[in-house]
Amino acid sequence: MIEFKNVYKRYRGGDQDVLKDINLTCNDGEITAFIGPSGCGKTTTMKLINRLINPTRGQVLVDGKDTANVNPVELRREIGYVIQHVGLFPHMTIAKNVAVVPRLLKWEESKIDPRIDELLNMVGLPPEQYRDRYPSELSGGQQQRIGVIRALAAEPKIILMDEPFSALDPISREQLQEDLIQLQKDIKKTIIFVTHDMDEALKIADKIVLMKDGQIVQVASPEEILRRPANDFVKSFIGEKRLQQAIDLPTVADVMAKKPATIYPHRGLAVAMKMMEQKQVDSLVVVDEKNYVQGYVSIYDVTSAFDNEDKKVEDILQPFSQKVSPEADITEAIRMLDEGTLSYIPVVCEDGKLLGLLTRGSVVGHVRNVYAQEGLALQNA
């Protein structure tokens, strides 16, 4: 966890603070995007984390430790750093570039080589083709991928990314954004991502920190910042088109099926079979008496264990690999639905109680109803 506590910054000889009373928490395993107009203080704030800049007042804490009390060289070796213009060493091969920090940390060579291969494979650059190449032999997008995995090489918990994709063409930039999203699912690092592009922040971030004139104007999830911008500055920075699209976009709560077929865990398999027949479904959501989700049973699970009369639903239920909140971004929820093994995802409130199911049928039904209402409105116009 990274914490900023009452942080101010004024450069030597300056007559005003460039950062003013920054209070912020960046959670472990999340991407926090700093965004705002040029000169707002987003890069300065990020550089406080690895002490490329020191605060004039206040504290920056990493995992509860004040960074002012940590040797800056040691601190930086434990924090990955990706910059806009990559910063690869041109006279070094790709393998040597990736190995820079592990070697500074005196890793054994027997550990470094497999780590290089692992990272190259992770970003789709086969080691046998790319280990011995030089940066000049790679495209801009490939170089930036190397920059990212170099920051990951020593397995840091924190990675700082300062507008890493802004110098790339739109196609390469979009692909690297997708790569980062997929990569984060596997590595679960604490990433601080500085950008001036609102679309990029909305796409990759778990939390957006919008800054202006050295101050934080709003901290929110992408969904919240679109639906509830804090003030006129936030609205203007997001843009009218994005705000209108957010208003028009339904939430999971709007789309979900509100009366899913459920069963208690203590019920028998014959009862489960009968309920599936009555409800005309091939699986049931298992909930306890207070409606907390326990998992699910499919027709295959029931028939496979049916000959054992002593078995209950609780003996064969399977946990859900994914759940979604009612306020979740519908486009992300639909993507989860497409990528999952089940044809539905349970919609749960914060404490885990079942509210409904997001299914392909409920999505299609919502779209059909919207078009029907629009058609009726046009007829009556």
Is the pLDDT reported for residue 246 higher than 80?
Answer: no
From the number of C-beta atoms within 10 Å of its C-beta (0-12, 13-18, 19+), residue 322 rates as middle
Q: Report the C-alpha gap between 164 and 186 in whole angstroms.
A: 20
Round the average pLDDT of the chain to a whole number and report it. Answer: 87
The domain 254-365: what is its CATH number?
3.10.580.10
pLDDT recorded at residue 231: 92
Confidence of residue 367 (pLDDT cuts 50, 70, 90): low
Q: Mean pLDDT over residues 163-192, rounded? A: 85
Is the pLDDT reported for residue 280 higher than 50?
Answer: yes
User: DSSP alpha helices (H): ranges in 163-312?
Assistant: 170-187, 198-204, 222-227, 232-238, 240-248, 252-255, 269-279, 299-305
Is the pLDDT reported for residue 111 higher than 80?
Answer: yes
Confidence of residue 365 (pLDDT cuts 50, 70, 90): low
Is the pLDDT reported for residue 368 higher than 60?
Answer: no
The sign of the torsion formed by the CA atoms of 278, 283, 287, 293 equals: negative
3-state secondary structure of 66: strand
Sequence ranges of the domains in the chain? 2-247, 254-365
Instruction: Report the run of H or E that residue 120 belongs to, with start and end.
Output: helix 109-122
CB 86 within 8 A of CB 146: yes
Q: Report the C-alpha gap between 195 and 18 in whole angstroms.
A: 18
pLDDT recorded at residue 317: 94
Instruction: List C-alpha distances in Å: 273 to 39, 286, 295, 299, 368.
Output: 64, 13, 16, 7, 32
Enter the tokens of residue 204: 């990759």
Tell which residue, 220, 235, 211, has the closest CA to residue 37.
Answer: 211
Helices 170-187 and 140-152, axial angle in degrees (round to 10) = 20
Give the least confident one: 71-85, 89-103, 330-344: 330-344
Sequence-distant (≥ 6) Cβ neighbours of residue 352 within 8 angstroms: 292, 293
Q: Mean pLDDT over residues 14-33, rounded? A: 93
Q: Which superfamily, per CATH, for 2-247?
A: P-loop containing nucleotide triphosphate hydrolases (3.40.50.300)
Is the pLDDT reported for residue 315 higher than 90?
Answer: yes
Is the pLDDT reported for residue 378 higher than 50?
Answer: no
Confidence of residue 149 (pLDDT cuts 50, 70, 90): confident
